[in-house]
């Protein structure tokens, strides 16, 4: 199974013996991801710095809580940048300038 979402929480409890817990969120809800030490070492950069991740792994249900046991982790944060910075070829003919506290913007200009 694969899940993807924004990383809203990273936990590495001292008592967890190297296990990392991630919480991902998308428009449908949240999912808990368990990253065992070997997977952390393999996908360290994505786990540490990824803002949005795609995780493939096995689903586990325990005590009415669902987790994904990570087997592959991919940093897909670049997709967020596409949302913020659209293709310049599709830019509006006139963009609203950045406003300071005392500046005003007139739509007729």
pLDDT tens for 37-74 read 999 999 999 999 999 999 999 999 888 778 999 999 99
First to last CA, the chain: 52
Q: Is residue 101 part of a domain?
A: no
What is the distance between the alpha carbons of residues 45 and 75, in angstroms, rounded to a whole number? 8
Q: Domain of 68: which CATH number?
A: 2.40.50.140
3-state secondary structure of 90: helix
Instruction: Enter the pTM of the model.
Output: 0.72
Q: Is residue 51 part of a domain?
A: yes
Q: Is residue 64 part of a domain?
A: yes
Element (H, E) at 4: strand 2-11
């Amino acid at each position: 199974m694969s899940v993807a979402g924004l990383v809203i929480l990273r936990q590495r409890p001292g008592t967890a013996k190297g296990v990392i817990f991630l919480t991902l969120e998308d428009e449908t809800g949240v999912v808990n991801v368990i990253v065992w030490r070997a997977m952390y070492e393999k996908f360290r950069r994505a786990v540490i710095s990824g803002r949005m991740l795609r995780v493939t792994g096995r689903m586990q249900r325990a005590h009415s809580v669902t987790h994904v046991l990570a087997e592959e982790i991919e940093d897909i944060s670049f997709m967020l940048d596409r949302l913020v910075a659209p293709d310049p070829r599709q830019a509006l003919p006139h963009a609203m300038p950045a406003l300071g506290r005392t500046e005003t913007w007139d739509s007729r200009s």
